Amino acid sequence: METVNIHEAKTHLSRLVEQAAKGKPFVIAKSGKPMVKVVPVDQPAPAQMRRVGFMAGQFTVPDDFDRMGSDEIERLFNIDR
């Protein structure tokens, strides 16, 4: 991610905003210290991003998953078969 100082950001603001709107965010720094991040308005927040498949292959679901605990549930609710 590109980092620009405040003076450069003021000088090239139009170009930088166009790039950010096209999906290339940037950081504005003051004296080398990052101050703000400029991102497109419609970009989802990191917490909203879905990480599909991030645990692929790390666990398995038992074949009897849909029947697990059925005996105990039947006992608790006095269900007769």
Partners of residue 36 on adjacent β-strands: 28
pLDDT digit string (tens) for 10-58? 999 999 999 999 989 999 999 999 999 999 888 666 666 677 888 888 9
Residue 49 lies in a domain: yes
CA distances from 7 to 36, 67, 78 (A): 14, 65, 75
Residue 72 lies in a domain: yes
CATH number of the domain bearing residue 71: 3.40.1620.10
Residue 11 lies in a domain: yes
pLDDT digit string (tens) for 71-81? 888 888 886 65
Give residue 14's domain range.
2-76
Q: What's the rounded Cα separation, in Å, for the pair 36 and 48?
A: 20
The pair of structure tokens assigned to 39 is 């991102």
Q: Which residue has the tokens 């930088």?
A: 16
Residue 52 lies in a domain: yes
Strand, coil or helix: 37: strand
Q: Total structural domains in the chain?
A: 1
